Amino acid sequence: MKRILIVTGQSGSGKSSALQVLEDLGYYCIDNLPLALLPEIVGKLDQENNLEQLALGVDVRSTRADLQEFDQVFEQLQKYGSVDIIYLTTQDQELITRFSASRRPHPLAGRWPSLHECIQEEKGLLLPIQMRATVNIDTTDKSVHDLKHTLLSKLGQSDNLIVILQSFGYKHGIPLDADYVFDVRHLPNPHWDLQLRKLSGLDAPVQKFLSEFEQTGQMFEDIHQFLAKWLPAFAEGHRHYITVSIGCTGGQHRSVYMVNRLKQALEANWSIQVLHREMKHWS
């Protein structure tokens, strides 16, 4: 067996959807087995089947003792192939909204009186797994289609490093799945120019406005030089992806401009994926 994925995260964050995506990608998927049994089952599958890709769904319904012994389970699984952990997370308020809409109880509902308490307890129980996660995905604003796109990008379909450049707005929250976050809110804001307000950083008038300021060029050079220096190190470490998030206030002008300019500077040497998280909010 060559590749084993452990798919886990907060209840309501999309674990079942992620497993369906992986099944479509050719992974043999197993869900909701006790953690302690996984090494034995994986070993049996390795002997009896010629499986190249295996995905294992794990959640908080495993016993507390099993979750606390996760490090031992992880080390035993490494005997059968490379092991990556996909951890799905979602902002608390969105989880509450999802559970209210589905009318399904949280897996810990019998132990804690409120949904908020269940969510906080679950975070603590899953912490041993989260600490080992190699792929973190924030599904707060993601549809199933978005989740599939993110999985494809972050898992990679080759040994080449994929650089994900993501623009976002601080007023909508910092991305939880970013490896690096750069703040460009100090740059002049096109929002205050009424002729530019409804445009985005992809439009030529906004690009011209920002490019005329010296500090814009200085910020770009600093981020570009940092990435040019350290991306080769990530590639040599056999990372499949790295997510670089650029944030401004609303995620429409400055961050979008900077992501677009970085893409143009890096795409000759790296495989680039661009995500503009707040596009749905653009006026």
At 238 the pLDDT is 65
pLDDT digits (tens, 9 = 90+) for 4-21: 999 999 999 999 999 988
At 1 the pLDDT is 52
For residue 28, report the phi and psi dihedrals to the nearest 5 degrees: -85, 120
pLDDT digits (tens, 9 = 90+) for 117-166: 999 999 998 888 888 898 899 999 888 888 887 887 777 655 578 899 99
Residue-wise over 232-248: b if at least 16 C-beta within 10 A, else e? eebbeeebbbbbbbbbb
List the strands of the sheet with 162-169, edge to edge. 180-183, 241-248, 162-169, 271-276
List the strands of the sheet with 3-9, edge to edge. 28-31, 53-57, 3-9, 82-89, 135-138
CA Rg value for the chain = 21
Domains and CATH numbers, the chain: 3-155 (3.40.50.300), 162-281 (no CATH)
pLDDT digits (tens, 9 = 90+) for 192-240: 999 999 999 999 999 999 999 999 999 999 999 999 999 999 888 767 7
pLDDT digits (tens, 9 = 90+) for 153-164: 777 655 578 899
Contacts 24+ apart (CB under 8 A), 14-18: 14/88, 14/90, 14/139, 14/142, 14/144, 14/147, 15/57, 15/59, 15/88, 16/57, 17/144, 17/147, 18/86, 18/88, 18/137, 18/147, 18/151
Residues 268, 231: Cα–Cα separation, whole Å = 13
Predicted confidence band at 253 (pLDDT cuts at 50, 70, 90)? very high
- The region of weakest confidence among 30-34, 73-77, 93-97, 225-229 is 30-34
